[in-house]
């Protein structure tokens, strides 16, 4: 009932962690049985350690949160030595005769295509299950966001990564574009096995008394329930056109949210910001999604893309 697939990657269920909100997953192990989730997606890993942006880096907003972390992480060598074994341990804890256990998906970030390629090759050697290429972080100077604002750069990055990868590769796209479908097509043409939509929306917060921006880097990425309608719309638009599976992400906090993304065309759904207030959320959602599917006598596979079989094209829209 809950099984789903992302290209050649088979998952026990469609509930995944969203990169950046859960570290490597290890931090969350005492709150719930993470061996039950569909996949664990790591915080972005870069080649070299990054100190991240100046504080403040997080700011709560109405129905959401701004972050300006700046891809802080200890670099690939540290991650492979310390965090990856823990992710694999969590994955093994969920494996049984009837369950695959969570898949290990590593999110990689680079300043150049060469960086992405080096990281992809390294993680494939380490036996991860899939890669998510972060083409869309809004909080760094070196051009990560640029990759996913240009269809050709997206295509080039994905093509280069695919040349060295022997596992499925997903392109994580930015909503900060005029036409996400053009970028999604670029990713698909570059050989992406799936598309993660969406990363955060660029925003800012202001302290009028101090007459200053609140975040240390002035702007940050907005996540949480406030962005769910945007994410749903983008998943819907992408699913009308691309053939590769879509990993929906943006403001998910209930089982209904998960099923709405599936209806819009997502094969799996990532849970992020809401886990800051409820670290056990993914596992609760899993149970609730299963109950709701049973009550509706349907499955994830049947429901996926249902909207495209029933909804009219948007007013003024085209099939592109």
Choose, by CB under 6 A, the member of 4, 46, 139, 148 that binds ligand SIN. 139
Buried-exposed string 39-59: b where 16+ CB fall within 10 A, e elsewhere: bbbbbbbbbeebebbeeebeb
Closest to 188 (Cα-Cα) out of 174, 175, 169 = 169
How many CB atoms neighbour CB 30 within 10 A?
Answer: 9
Shortest Cβ 68–ligand SIN spacing (Å): 6
* Binding-site size, ligand SIN (CB under 6 A): 14
Choose, by CB under 6 A, the member of 42, 44, 148, 270 that binds ligand SIN. 44
Choose, by CB under 6 A, the member of 17, 134, 196, 273 that binds ligand SIN. 134
Radius of gyration of the chain (CA): 18
β-bridge pairing 103-108 and 39-41: parallel
* Active-site residue (options: 117, 124, 137, 165): 137
Shortest Cβ 102–ligand SIN spacing (Å): 21
Q: Which of residues 199-228 bind ligand SIN (CB under 6 A)?
A: 199-200, 221
Q: Is 156 helix (H, G, I), strand (E, B) or coil?
A: helix
Q: Which of residues 13-32 bind ligand SIN (CB under 6 A)?
A: 20
Q: Verify binding: residue 131, ligand SIN, rule CB under 6 A.
A: no
Choose, by CB under 6 A, the member of 9, 15, 40, 69 that binds ligand SIN. 69
Measured CA to CA, the distance from residue 207 to residue 159 in angstroms comes to 44
Residue 124 a catalytic site member: no
Shortest Cβ 264–ligand SIN spacing (Å): 22
Choose, by CB under 6 A, the member of 137, 197, 198, 264 that binds ligand SIN. 137
Instruction: Determine whether 9 is exposed, middle or buried from the number of CB atoms within 10 Å of its CB (0-12, 13-18, 19+).
Output: buried
Cβ proximity of 89 and 35 under 8 Å: no
Measured CA to CA, the distance from residue 286 to residue 296 in angstroms comes to 15
Measured CA to CA, the distance from residue 14 to residue 192 in angstroms comes to 19
| Cβ distance to ligand SIN smaller for residue 224 or 305 | 224
Shortest Cβ 43–ligand SIN spacing (Å): 7
Shortest Cβ 70–ligand SIN spacing (Å): 5
Residues that bind ligand SIN (CB under 6 A): 20, 44, 67, 69-71, 134, 136-139, 199-200, 221
Question: Which residues belong to the active site?
Answer: 137
């Amino acid at each position: 009932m809950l099984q789903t697939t992302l290209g050649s990657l088979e998952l026990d269920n469609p509930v995944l962690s969203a990169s950046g909100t859960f570290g490597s997953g290890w931090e969350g192990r005492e709150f719930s049985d993470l061996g039950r989730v569909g996949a664990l997606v790591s915080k972005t890993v870069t080649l070299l350690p990054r100190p991240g942006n100046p504080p403040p880096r997080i700011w709560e907003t109405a129905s959401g949160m701004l972050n300006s972390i700046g891809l802080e992480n200890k670099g690939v060598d540290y991650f492979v030595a310390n965090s990856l074994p823990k992710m694999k341990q969590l994955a093994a804890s969920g494996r049984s005769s009837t369950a695959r256990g969570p898949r290990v998906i590593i999110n990689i970030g680079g300043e150049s295509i060469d960086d992405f390629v080096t990281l992809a090759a390294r993680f494939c050697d380490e036996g991860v299950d899939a890669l998510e290429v972060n083409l869309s972080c809004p909080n760094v100077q070196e051009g990560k966001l640029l990759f996913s604002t240009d269809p050709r750069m997206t295509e080039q990055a994905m093509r280069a990564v695919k040349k060295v990868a022997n596992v499925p590769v997903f392109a994580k796209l930015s909503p900060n574009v005029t036409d996400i479908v053009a970028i999604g097509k670029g990713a698909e043409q570059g050989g992406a096995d799936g598309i993660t939509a969406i990363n955060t929306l660029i925003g800012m917060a202001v302290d009028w008394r101090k007459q200053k921006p609140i975040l240390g880097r002035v702007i940050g990425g907005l996540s949480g329930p406030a962005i769910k309608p945007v994410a749903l719309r983008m998943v819907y638009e992408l699913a009308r056109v691309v053939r590769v599976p879509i990993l929906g992400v943006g403001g998910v906090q209930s089982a209904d949210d998960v099923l709405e993304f599936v209806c819009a065309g997502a094969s799996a759904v990532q849970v992020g910001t809401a886990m800051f207030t409820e670290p056990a959320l993914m596992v609760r959602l899993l149970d609730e999604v299963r109950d709701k599917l049973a009550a509706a006598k349907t499955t994830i596979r049947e429901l996926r893309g249902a909207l495209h079989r029933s909804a009219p094209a948007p007013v003024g829209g085209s099939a592109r």
